[in-house]
Amino acid sequence: MTPAELKSREQFLISTLRAATPLLLEGFTLTPGSDAKRNQAIGTSEKSSFKDLVTVYDQRVEHFLVERLQKAFAGETIIGEEASSQNKLQKDDYAKHDLFWILDPIDGTTNYVRAYPFFSSTIALMKKVNGQALPQPVVAATWNPVSGEMFHATKNGGAWLNEQRLQVSKVKNPQQSLVTTGFASARSQSSERPFELFTKITKSTLGVRRDGSAALDLAYVACGRIDAYWEWGLSPWDTAAGALLVEEAGGRLSSHSGSPWDSLSGEILATNGSIHDWMLEQIAE
């Protein structure tokens, strides 16, 4: 795919995500409170546990995005969280495709349920590059409809926030760093490790944020608001777009042991590069 083709798909994602704004904001603003009335209005229900929520708006936004992608790119595979969350993605399924779209209609559903303004809609185009066994993100867009911030990127074409080119932060001293993490629902119930690490890193940095949308956490690393982000137990649609944003903004990605980031492993460490080794040491200890 030529750079011009990647850019044209990036523009398509930008306009498609912008077009989903009325629907995203309809559910967000439907009722002012966070109570039974709101849950009824937005159709909240539990998926795998009481911590894993979905609303009718997750399904409606996914339907909206998938329909537009299908119309524009007939025949291309689309993986959406709500349609595919019942079937756990396996490496074999992933590796079967040379090219596919992956999307999360609402990343930060718990925030959305509570009308807490930190959630996003995120899409990436995945493609096998240079003979790699697994597809990598080559086009990405993550949209925060509340702040009006569109984070977007193409492979080798840079990362952008609206019209501004992005660069990761230059912070080198961990004591001057602001970092973020998240607690995936299944993992947080079965292991103390994420909480121990949260405490340890809180003490040695400016602080640890826990904002609740992995896609925006990664976008924040790309734009330099945050210097590092780590988490376990993620799904590939949470991280696909954000991983490209971080790479294209000059940041570094890896697993928690320092090996190359694998979109299916569920774990990610994304940093400005300068504090990456320090973060790996903290996670390893």
Quote the CA–CA distance of 229 and 215 in Å, as a whole number.
11
Residues 233-252 that bind Ca ion (CB under 5 A): none
| 8 Å CB contact between 137 and 243 | yes
Contact range with ligand IPD by CB under 6 A, out of 7-15, 69-77, 178-186, 277-285: 178-186
Query: What is the DSSP secondary structure assignment for residue 102, as one 8-state letter?
Result: E
Interaction of residue 174 with ligand IPD, rule CB under 6 A: no
- Dihedral sign from CA coordinates of 15, 241, 103, 74: positive
Could you confirm whether 109 is annotated as catalytic?
yes
Query: What is the DSSP secondary structure assignment for residue 176, as one 8-state letter?
Result: G
Could you confirm whether 104 is annotated as catalytic?
yes
Could you confirm whether 35 is annotated as catalytic?
no
45 C-beta neighbours (distance < 10 Å), count:
11
Alpha-helical (H) ranges within 48-115 are 56-72, 81-84, 91-96, 109-113
Interaction of residue 81 with Ca ion, rule CB under 5 A: yes
Interaction of residue 267 with ligand IPD, rule CB under 6 A: no
Tell me the number of residues near Ca ion by CB under 5 A: 3
Interaction of residue 142 with ligand IPD, rule CB under 6 A: no
Which one of 58, 82, 104, 247 is the catalytic residue?
104
Interaction of residue 62 with Ca ion, rule CB under 5 A: no
Quote the CA–CA distance of 6 and 198 in Å, as a whole number.
38
Give the x-and-dash track for 203-232 against ligand IPD (CB under 6 A).
---------xxx----------------x-
Which one of 107, 211, 217, 267 is the catalytic residue?
107
| 8 Å CB contact between 135 and 97 | yes
Residues in the chain: 285
Contact range with Ca ion by CB under 5 A, out of 8-16, 88-96, 105-113, 270-278: 105-113
Active site residues: 81, 104, 106-107, 109, 238
